[in-house]
Structure formats: C-alpha cells, structure tokens
C-alpha cells in the first residue's frame, strides 16, 4: 500500500491535506528471515513521489509548494500586522526545523494482533514527532496495513515480529514499510546454540522430576520419556541414575548436543529428533515416567494440551506418572486474546484451570499433586544452582508477560503430576 499527502500553508499556519491511493502490488522479492512470509505493507504520508519497484525517488522540486502569504512588518510591535504572535513564529520555525530533518528509523515488535491499537498509536506518535500528521483515511489505511501484517506474522509462528521501517526526506513526507518476520520454534532454539553460552536451561535436573524419579527404588524398572529434552538437563541425570531414557527433542542443534554428551559419558540415551505430535510411532508404551518440562509454554491452544495428555496415556504403563509444568491462570483471571498472544511470544503460553481439566477429561489420568514451580524448585535445588539461569526467576514468575510483582501476577507456573490409571478405574 502507498499513501501520499501534501502540506499547504494557509493563513500563516500549516495544514496537512492528505491524498491516498493504493498501489497495485507490493514490491517483488521481499522476504523476511528464516521461514518468513514475503507479505508486506507500504505507506506514505507527505509530498513527493517514489517508484517502489525500482527504488528511485521521484523529483522533489519546490515548484509544487505554495508560496507563503506575504507578511507585513509593523515597527515597535510584538505582533505582526496580520495578528501572528511571536509564539506562532517560533512554532513555525520549529516545524521548519523538523521538516528539514532527514530521518531513517526501524521499529521491531513482537506480533500480538489483539494489541493492534497499540501499534497504531506508536506509529502515529512516531510520525507526529516528525511533523507528519494523518487524517482519518490515512489512519484507516495504516491500521489495515498493520492488522494484515500482524495476523500474517502471528499465524506463521509464536516466534514472530513485525518490522516497521520509515524514512523522511526533506519536506512533509514520510515513507513507511511494514513487513512480517517469523521463525519456527525449532529454529529459535537452534539459534540458542549459536548465540548463547551453555547451560541453556541450567545444570541440575528439575527438582520435582528428580524427586518423582526417586520414588522408584529400581530405576531400570522405570523407563523415562523426556519430552522436549533440550540438551539433556533431565535426561542425562536420569540416565546416570540408571533409568532407561528416551529423549524426544524438536531442535536439531539441541539433539546433537545431547547425543554428544550421552556418547561422552557412555549413557544409553535414545535421542529422537521429532515434533512430539508426530512421534507416536517411535515411542513404545512401557514408560514409567513421562517428563514434560518447559514445553507446554510453547503450546498454541488447549487442543495441543489434549494431544499431549493423549500421548502420555498411550506411552505410560498403568501406575506410571506424567509430570508436566505450565502456566495456569489464577481463578480471578480470565486471559484475553492479548494476554494469550503475548504469552506465546514470550515462551509463556497460559491456560485456565478449566482448560487443563477439560484436556484430561475422560482420559485414564488421575491428578495426584499440584505445586508451584518457583517455590518447589527454589526450596529443593542446591543453593549454588539457584536460579538455574539468569532469565529463570522472572520467567517462571510470569514477569516476561506481565511486568508485575509476584503478588500481583495473574498466572502461576505449576507442576502437575498425574498417575496413569487403568481403564477400569476411569469407568
């Protein structure tokens, strides 16, 4: 989309008159990073012209600018004879200064479609600071462009952004361009290996996982499925204890690190690099413990939670346990679209208690324990291993989504432990 507008000088004041038109298509060849859409939105406010396909600026002579009205000076007076005050003159000079600025900028924001009006306000405020104002039609077109790009980005992945770039040549003109970017969840975690220093999730196993595994006196009789194993924080510790371990991991880079470490320690961990929702045929149904740590926080819907529970049921022997952590909304809080979408963008997907209960309804799973993750891990991890990472405390308290103190947080990360019941028990 392109928009154009010209500024006119009327009776000693500047008044923007907007002319809008829509281009036939966005430029060819646009692509964002990784598995990214090529869609983009274009805009313009102010005078001048640009050929977006060739990238060449059109002529920007002063011939099209109206001459300012003549000003008659009157000696020994604080106002000019047409009534213009000194403050008006100073303001006009300030606007001229702003208009002669040449500015380039870029704003990258997580894609949260439900917060559309916040994006619109940010853009309008930014452009207004450059002395470019939008009328109702221009605002509508900006809003439509932002909406389209936000929807496209968020549909592509919960690891998505929109990038708003803009430039102002001399005059009352701003060109702006909105494009979506996204990466897959697997690619996001692959990048951690390339850009971060290990340990990525901490060096100790989850205290709740370790305690539950310790309830089995014979580790060999309790095979473990570690879903979303990462680089092996839980898998390696459980294998050292003597449990047969299958580690399911989506990220190829994480899986490679885990394989290398298991090989170095001669641990018989079977590493399966697959999405958990396509891994059923690779998993036997004889596990005594299924571990799902820091995985549900990447889910996109309650349906994903239901599919996880169904997979656990198919894999656990009767009497085995599923231990899973997730963000659960407090009883007084019903998360709206904005909260849920921001949660997905910050590795903090959230569910209501009703959604959690519905996801396990009718399945042979008995909820046997619920405890807060922060308090349990803080109390049971070795003091020298707390917090597990620099980002862990704020994240597990929900502060990556809601910039609030712990007492005001509307969500809580909880450990939930389920026992695999027999079909007869459920009936």
Residue 61 clears pLDDT 70, i.e. is over it: no
Residue 47 clears pLDDT 80, i.e. is over it: no
Is the domain of 230 the same as that of 365?
yes
CATH number, domain of 264, equals: 3.40.50.150
Average pLDDT over residues 279-301: 96
CA dist., res. 272 & res. 287, Å (int): 15
Is the domain of 246 the same as that of 151?
no
Residue 17 clears pLDDT 90, i.e. is over it: no
Is the domain of 343 the same as that of 245?
yes
pLDDT in tens, 319-355: 999 999 999 999 999 999 999 999 999 999 999 999 9
Greatest distance between any 2 Cα atoms in the chain:
102
Average pLDDT over residues 86-107: 86
Is the domain of 168 the same as that of 237?
no
Residue 52 clears pLDDT 70, i.e. is over it: no
- What per-residue confidence (pLDDT) applies to 131? 80
Which one has a higher pLDDT value, 103 or 401? Answer: 401
Which one has a higher pLDDT value, 77 or 366? Answer: 366
Is the domain of 333 the same as that of 398?
yes
Is the domain of 166 the same as that of 196?
no
- What per-residue confidence (pLDDT) applies to 316? 98
Domain boundary among 183, 212, 233: 183
Model confidence, pTM: 0.80
- What per-residue confidence (pLDDT) applies to 63? 34
Is the domain of 177 the same as that of 88?
yes
- What per-residue confidence (pLDDT) applies to 423? 82
Which one has a higher pLDDT value, 163 or 169? Answer: 163
CA dist., res. 426 & res. 363, Å (int): 7
Residue of 122, 177, 111, 110 whose CA lies nearest to 147: 111
Is the domain of 207 the same as that of 307?
yes
- What per-residue confidence (pLDDT) applies to 82? 57
Mean of the per-residue pLDDT values for the chain?
84
Q: Which residues contact 291 (CB under 8 A, 6 or more apart)?
A: 206, 209, 224, 225, 226, 227, 234, 238, 323
- For residues 122 and 115, is the Cβ–Cβ distance under 8 A? no
Is the domain of 313 the same as that of 210?
yes
Q: Which residues contact 137 (CB under 8 A, 6 or more apart)?
A: 18, 20
- What per-residue confidence (pLDDT) applies to 28? 30
Which one has a higher pLDDT value, 8 or 372? Answer: 372
Is the domain of 258 the same as that of 148?
no
CA dist., res. 168 & res. 175, Å (int): 6
Is the domain of 171 the same as that of 233?
no
Residue 20 clears pLDDT 80, i.e. is over it: no
Burial of 38 (0-12, 13-18, 19+ CB in 10 A): middle
Average pLDDT over residues 65-94: 56
Burial 244-269, CB ≥16 within 10 A → b, else e: bbbbbbbbebbbbbbbeebeeeebeb
Average pLDDT over residues 16-44: 39
410: how many CB neighbours lie within 10 A of its CB? 17
Domain boundary among 166, 183, 200: 183
65: how many CB neighbours lie within 10 A of its CB? 15
- What per-residue confidence (pLDDT) applies to 175? 92
pLDDT in tens, 193-209: 999 999 999 999 999 99
| 25 pLDDT tier (thresholds 50, 70, 90) | very low
pLDDT in tens, 275-285: 999 999 999 98
Domain of 93 in residue numbering reads as: 3-183
Residue 287 clears pLDDT 60, i.e. is over it: yes
Own/partner pairs for 403-407, CB < 8 Å, 24+ apart?
none
Q: How many domains does the chain have?
A: 2
Residue 70 clears pLDDT 70, i.e. is over it: no
CA dist., res. 78 & res. 177, Å (int): 45
**Range with the lowest mean pLDDT among 72-76, 81-85, 154-158?**
72-76
Taking CA atoms, 219 is separated from 79, 204, 222, 235, in Å, by 92, 19, 5, 13
CA dist., res. 317 & res. 283, Å (int): 13
Pair of tokens at residue 120: 């619109």
- What per-residue confidence (pLDDT) applies to 38? 44
- What per-residue confidence (pLDDT) applies to 44? 60
Angle, in degrees to the nearest 10, between helices 116-128 and 136-156: 130
Domain boundary among 125, 154, 183: 183
Residue of 187, 159, 132, 163 whose CA lies nearest to 39: 163
pLDDT in tens, 219-261: 999 999 999 999 999 999 999 999 999 999 999 999 999 999 9
Is the domain of 154 the same as that of 257?
no
| 9 pLDDT tier (thresholds 50, 70, 90) | very low
**Range with the lowest mean pLDDT among 84-98, 189-203, 352-366, 399-413?**
84-98
CA dist., res. 118 & res. 176, Å (int): 17
**Range with the lowest mean pLDDT among 30-34, 92-96, 111-115, 166-170?**
30-34
Chain centroid, CA 227 distance in Å: 22
- What per-residue confidence (pLDDT) applies to 96? 80
């Amino acid at each position: 989309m392109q928009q154009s507008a010209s500024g006119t000088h009327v009776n000693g004041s500047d008044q923007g008159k907007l002319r809008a038109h829509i281009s036939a298509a966005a430029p060819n060849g646009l692509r964002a990073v990784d598995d990214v859409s090529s869609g983009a939105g274009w805009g313009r406010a102010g005078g001048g012209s640009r050929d977006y396909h060739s990238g060449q600026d059109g002529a920007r002579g002063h011939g099209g600018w109206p001459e300012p009205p003549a000003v008659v000076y009157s000696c020994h007076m604080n106002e000019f004879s047409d009534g213009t005050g000194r403050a008006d003159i100073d303001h006009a000079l300030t606007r001229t200064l702003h208009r002669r600025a040449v500015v380039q900028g870029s704003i990258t924001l997580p894609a949260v479609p439900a917060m559309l009006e916040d994006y619109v306000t940010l853009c309008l405020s930014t452009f207004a600071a450059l002395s470019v104002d939008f009328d109702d039609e221009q605002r509508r077109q900006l809003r439509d462009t932002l909406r389209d790009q936000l929807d496209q980005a968020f549909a592509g992945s919960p690891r998505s952004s929109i990038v708003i770039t803009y430039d102002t040549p001399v005059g009352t003109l701003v060109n702006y361009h909105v494009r979506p970017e996204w990466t897959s969840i697997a690619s996001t975690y692959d990048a951690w290996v390339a850009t971060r220093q290990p340990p990525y999730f901490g060096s100790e196993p989850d205290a709740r996982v370790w305690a539950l595994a310790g309830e089995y006196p014979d580790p060999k009789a309790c095979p473990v499925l570690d879903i979303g194993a990462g680089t092996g924080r839980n898998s390696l510790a459980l294998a050292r204890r003597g449990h047969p371990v299958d580690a399911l991991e989506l990220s190829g880079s994480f899986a490679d690190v885990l394989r290398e470490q298991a090989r170095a320690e001669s641990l018989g961990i079977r590493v399966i690099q697959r999405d958990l929702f396509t891994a059923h045929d690779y998993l036997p149904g004889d596990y005594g413990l299924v571990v799902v740590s820091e995985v549900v926080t990447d889910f996109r819907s309650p349906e994903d939670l239901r599919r996880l529970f169904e997979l656990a049921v198919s894999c656990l022997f009767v009497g085995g346990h599923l231990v899973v952590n997730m963000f659960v909304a407090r009883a007084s809080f019903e998360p709206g679209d904005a909260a849920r979408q921001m949660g997905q963008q910050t590795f903090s997907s959230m569910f209501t208690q009703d959604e959690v209960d519905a996801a396990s309804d009718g399945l042979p799973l008995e909820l046997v324990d619920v405890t807060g993750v922060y308090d349990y891990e803080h109390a049971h991890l070795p003091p020298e291993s707390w917090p597990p990472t620099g980002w862990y405390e704020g994240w597990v308290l929900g502060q990556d989504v809601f910039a609030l103190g712990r007492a005001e947080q509307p969500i809580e990360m909880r450990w939930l432990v389920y026992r695999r019941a027999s079909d007869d028990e459920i009936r």
